């Protein structure tokens, strides 16, 4: 009986230590995703999307299911078609098949006016782990066009992730 309790205690200690293991940051390149809004596009709110799998940017041997902490350090947007009318607002969202779509950040009209396409990020980002662990991810960019554009419109998002996995 004495040994039974001791063994149980040992197992508990091991579990606790294992559970409390420090998360370790992993290095990834900035992920460039090209979203496309299929034209013709008309004045008003339009949407560009792209599906991706975050697994592709993870180091070899690391599985997305191992992710324990995810934050976005920065998102830089750039317009591919420079002749297209410049949108006056952008909202960046992420979604996946088994989670809810969430706002990750947005661009204010004032920063667009000074050609600053660095996205103001949402403070709450806890939802990102679940989204990145899902089988695929969708990046959505809603933008407000001030004029018509009769072609496709591409917006590139360069996402700098801060990723951690359990040791």
Partner 1 sequence: MNIKVLLFSFFLVPLLMVAQDEEDYSMYDDLEYADEGATTFASPKIIGLSPNRFINVAWDVQSPYTMNTSDTIGYLPDASWEIKESSNVNYTGGLRLNANIPVISRNNIVWQMGANYMNTNFSIDDADPSDGPILSELDRTSLNTTGLFTTVFKPLNDKQFLIFQGQADYNGNYTFTDFHSFGLTKYSAAVLWGKRPHDRLQWAIGASRTYRVGELNYVPIIMYNWTSKKEKWGTEILFPAKANGKYWMNKNSLIMFGYELEGGSYHLEGLSNNGNSFELRRGAVRPRIEWNRKLVGFFWLNAQLGTRINYGFTYDELENGKEFFRGFFGQQEIAAFSSLGTSLYGLVGISFVSL
Partner 2 sequence: MKKFKTLAIFFVGLFLLTSMVGDSEDADKLVGVWEPSNKKIKVKIDKISGKYYGKIVWLREPIDPVTGKPKTDKNNPDESLKDVALKGFRMLKDFVYNGNGEWSEGTIYDPQNGSTYSSVIKLKDENTLDIRGFIGLKTFGRTDVWKRLVMKNKK
Euclidean distance between CA atoms 90 and 157, whole angstroms: 11
In whole angstroms, the minimum distance from the beta carbon of 97 to partner 2 comes to 7
- The answer to whether the beta carbons of residues 33 and 137 sit under 8 Å apart is no
Q: Among residues 28 and 88, whose Cβ is nearest to partner 2?
A: 88
Q: Among residues 77 and 165, whose Cβ is nearest to partner 2?
A: 77
CB atoms within 10 A of CB 89: 15
Q: Is 111 helix (H, G, I), strand (E, B) or coil?
A: helix
Residue 80, interface with partner 2 (CB under 8 A)? no
- The answer to whether the beta carbons of residues 101 and 95 sit under 8 Å apart is yes
18 binds, among partner 2, partner 1, none (CB under 5 to 8 A by kind): none
148 binds, among partner 2, partner 1, none (CB under 5 to 8 A by kind): partner 1
Euclidean distance between CA atoms 64 and 102, whole angstroms: 19
DSSP string, 59-102: PTT--GGGEEEEEEEEEEEEES-TTSPPPS-EEEEEE-TTS--E
41 binds, among partner 2, partner 1, none (CB under 5 to 8 A by kind): partner 1
Q: Among residues 66 and 154, whose Cβ is nearest to partner 2?
A: 154
101 binds, among partner 2, partner 1, none (CB under 5 to 8 A by kind): partner 2
Interface residue list for partner 1 (CB under 8 A): 37-46, 148
Interface ranges with partner 2 (CB under 8 A): 44-45, 47, 49, 51, 89, 91, 93, 95-97, 100-101, 103, 106, 108, 120-124, 136, 138, 140, 142-144
């Amino acid at each position: 009986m004495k040994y039974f309790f001791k063994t149980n205690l040992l197992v508990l200690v091991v579990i606790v230590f294992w559970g409390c293991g420090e998360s370790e940051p992993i290095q990834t390149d900035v992920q460039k995703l090209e979203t496309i809004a299929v034209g013709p596009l008309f004045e008003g709110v339009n949407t560009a999307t792209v599906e991706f799998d975050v697994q592709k940017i993870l180091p070899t041997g690391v599985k997305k299911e191992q992710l324990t902490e995810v934050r976005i350090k920065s998102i830089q947007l750039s317009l591919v078609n420079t002749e297209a009318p410049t949108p006056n607002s952008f909202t960046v969202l992420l979604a996946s098949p088994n989670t809810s779509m969430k706002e990750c950040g947005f661009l204010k009209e004032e920063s667009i006016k000074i050609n600053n396409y660095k996205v103001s990020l949402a403070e709450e980002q806890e939802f990102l782990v679940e989204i990145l662990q899902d089988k695929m991810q969708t990046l959505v960019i809603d933008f407000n066009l001030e004029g018509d554009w009769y072609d496709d419109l591409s917006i590139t998002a360069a996402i700098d992730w801060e990723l951690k996995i359990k040791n």
